[in-house]
């Protein structure tokens, strides 16, 4: 048995910045780990059929969990679909995440659907983690800083 997580956000940023934040290793390490975790990208090949590998480390305990997956669909500035599997056998199965981006008058509407979340991860914890990550994503992509 698995869970499906659905989130919706509007960000004051162009779709191009949000899309890029999912495919840039340094950006991903900065915003994806939820509060209390640091992140490291071990590899990222941002193309359909390409893969990525990351780990999150719980800052207080030092415990690390690694995961990775494959990019199934990449439509620049509109859509990303990718898989993820944990290395930990206690977190079995494969998740699939779909990110849909749509330009709106004040920025970008973003819909996130994550399917196949292992049953042992409470859906509330997954929602909380995504909410924290998306707040960090907004801090990365929304500022208009002159160059």
Q: Which domains does the chain have, with CATH numbers?
A: 2-141 (3.30.530.20)
Over pLDDT 90: what percentage of the chain?
Answer: 95
pTM of the model: 0.94
H/E element, 145 = none
Give me the mean pLDDT over the 125-147 stretch: 95
pLDDT at residue 1 greater than cutoff 90: no
User: How far is residue 17's CA from residue 11's CA, in Å, rounded to a whole number?
Assistant: 10
pLDDT at residue 5 greater than cutoff 90: yes
- Residue 147 — pLDDT band, cuts 50, 70, 90? confident
- Residue 141 — pLDDT band, cuts 50, 70, 90? very high
User: How far is residue 121's CA from residue 114's CA, in Å, rounded to a whole number?
Assistant: 13
User: How far is residue 99's CA from residue 105's CA, in Å, rounded to a whole number?
Assistant: 19
Angle made by CA atoms 29, 35, 37, in degrees to the nearest 5? 55
* Measured torsion, CA atoms of residues 79, 132, 56, 73, in degrees rounded to the nearest 10: -10
């Amino acid at each position: 048995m698995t869970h499906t997580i659905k989130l919706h956000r509007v960000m004051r940023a162009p779709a191009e910045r949000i899309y890029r934040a999912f495919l840039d290793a340094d950006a991903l390490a900065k915003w994806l780990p939820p509060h209390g975790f640091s992140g490291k990208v071990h590899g990222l090949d941002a193309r359909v059929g390409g893969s990525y590998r990351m780990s999150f480390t719980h800052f207080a305990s030092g415990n690390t969990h690694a995961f990775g997956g494959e990019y199934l669909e990449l439509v620049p500035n509109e859509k990303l679909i990718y898989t993820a599997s944990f290395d930990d056998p206690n977190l079995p199965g494969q998740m699939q995440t779909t990110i849909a981006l749509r330009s709106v008058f004040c920025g970008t509407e973003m819909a996130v659907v994550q399917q196949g979340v292992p049953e042992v991860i409470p859906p509330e914890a997954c929602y909380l983690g995504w909410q924290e990550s998306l707040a960090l994503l907004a801090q990365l992509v929304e500022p208009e800083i002159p160059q």
